Structure formats: structure tokens, C-alpha cells
Amino acid sequence: MIDYQNEDLATITCSNENKLFSLVVLTLLLIGIALAYRSFAVEDEAVKTDFYFEPLSEEQIAKAAESYRAQEKTIRYGMRGLDNLDIIRENNSDILPGRKFAGLSAAEMCESGKADCVTPFAKIRPLIVTAPNHHMMSCIIQKSMSTVMSAIFCFLIREKEFVDAGRSILREYADIRLCEGRNEFKSVKAMQRGLRIRDEDLDMWRFTVVTREPVDRFLSGFIDRCI
């Protein structure tokens, strides 16, 4: 029970009858606090406050070199395949199955609830890349120069190391990225917390985003993943 006899301080006392109930309530309260803390910790997990980089290890150098060689091989042989329309037709000539919902348009098929259609306007989690030394940030959109933009912003904060390591802006894939994702954030607020930027300081920053013509973006993704 709660004793309000003291006007400045309310104390909680437990009788023998309600000790078990109080312990249960306290346990649930602590669990709730722990879960809340955990959820905030996961949200801020990607926030990086330190841009200090260790020198590249021999393993990292070898991994990047192997990735570059593999990319070169893929480009060399891949372009041959993309230039050969006969091979493309052969690899994509499977007979399509008949329409399951004959007589219905795509919109009618989805609106009727008879088909498991992907929900439109899916919310995609943003990715912010930053170059604090230049007061610049960019919101990354997949298949819209995302790999190149990440590499450009990495170059902006590690220019000398980038050049000395013989890196290429066009080939900095996520698994070998020189900046190791340390200049990347999940939101502008996370960027502000990680870089200790006040709201009024954002006026000195340049915000950028690269978009792509939708059909061109679709074809790029289709060729990259499906052909």
C-alpha cells in the first residue's frame, strides 16, 4: 500500500498479503525497462561516433584484391553474355504458366483479395552516408548509384588512404568497403546523435539524394538479379 502521511514523500510498504503481488509488479517493471532499453540500443546500434580507422590488415588487403579480380572477371564475361541476344533468349525462353486469374486485370486481381499481391508503397529503411569534414550527407536509394555514392563519401573522408590502397569508386562493394560502414546511419536523427550535430548546425550541411528514372531502375535491377 502507499502511505501519503508525509506530504513531501510517498512511501510504498508491503504487507505479507501483497508481497507476492508487489514482487510480480516489480519484476514486470524491470523487464519492461530492460526491453525498452534493448529496443533503443538496437535502433542506435549502427550509430558510429568515432571515425578512427586502423591500418588495413593483410587479410583485408587480400580480400579487396580478390573482390576486384572477381568483379573484373564478371564484367569481362558478363558483357559478352549481355551482348549475345541468342544466349539471353535461350536463358529466358521458358514457357510461362497460364494465367491463374483469367479475365482479371492486375489491379482487379489484387483488389479482389484472391491473390497474394505485394503491398504497394513499401516503406524502405533509409541509409544515410556522411562526410562530416565536408558537411555533406546523402540519402542512399538502392539501384540509384547506391554503391558509387557510398564509395564517393568514403573517399571524401579517407582520400589519401583510398588512393594509396588503389581503391576504385566503382568497385567498393559492401563487404570490402574501406570505411567499414562507420560513416553510415539509419536516419538523420541517428546521424545527429552519432556526430553530435545540433539542429541549428544542419543549416551548414548539404543534403543530397540521387534518383533514377523508374523504368531504367527496374531494368537495371532485373538484369542484375534475373538474367
- CA atoms of 115 and 110, how far apart (whole Å): 6
Query: Can you tell me the mean pLDDT for 84-106?
Result: 80
Q: pTM surpassing 0.75?
A: no
If we measure between CA atoms, which residue out of 215, 201, 193 comes closest to residue 45? 193
pLDDT number for residue 106 = 78
pLDDT tens digits, residue range 24-44?
Answer: 443 344 345 444 444 443 344
Distance CA 22, CA 29 (A): 10
pLDDT digits (tens, 9 = 90+) for 158-179: 989 999 999 998 899 888 989 9
Q: Above 60 in pLDDT, residue 47?
A: no
pLDDT surpassing 50 at residue 5: no
pLDDT reported for residue 227: 65
pLDDT digits (tens, 9 = 90+) for 170-223: 899 888 989 988 899 999 999 999 999 999 999 999 998 888 888 888 888 887
Q: Is residue 9 a contact partner of residue 2, using CB atoms and an 8 Å limit?
A: no
Query: 134 near 155, Cβ under 8 Å?
Result: no
